[in-house]
Amino acid sequence: MTSNVGGIDRILRIVLGLVLIGLTLTGNIGVWGWLGVVPLATGAIGWCPPYAIFGFSTCAMKK
């Protein structure tokens, strides 16, 4: 598994995941907020399965 999620993309995924989980824990949104685990996990490991399937990457190009 090579990394296919770049810096800004990783940060946004982690923040979005934490916000969704936090809103769920405080009761502001329903159970669907637990889906925040998905962007949190993909941001934490730096690899996204759909990106790999479609050959997409947000990582910086190496020279």
Residue 53's identity, in one-letter code, is I
Neighbours of 44 (CB within 10 A): 13
| Dist. CA 18–CA 24, nearest whole Å | 10
pLDDT band, residue 63 (cuts 50/70/90): low
The average pLDDT across 16-44 equals 96
Does an H or E element contain 5, and which?
none
Give the pLDDT score at 1: 81
| pTM, 2 dp | 0.89
Q: b/e string for 5-32 if b means 16 or more Cβ within 10 A? A: beeebbeebbeebeebbeebeeeeeeee
pLDDT recorded at residue 17: 97
Read off the pLDDT of each residue in 18-28 and give the average, rounded to a whole number. 97
pLDDT at 62 over 80: no
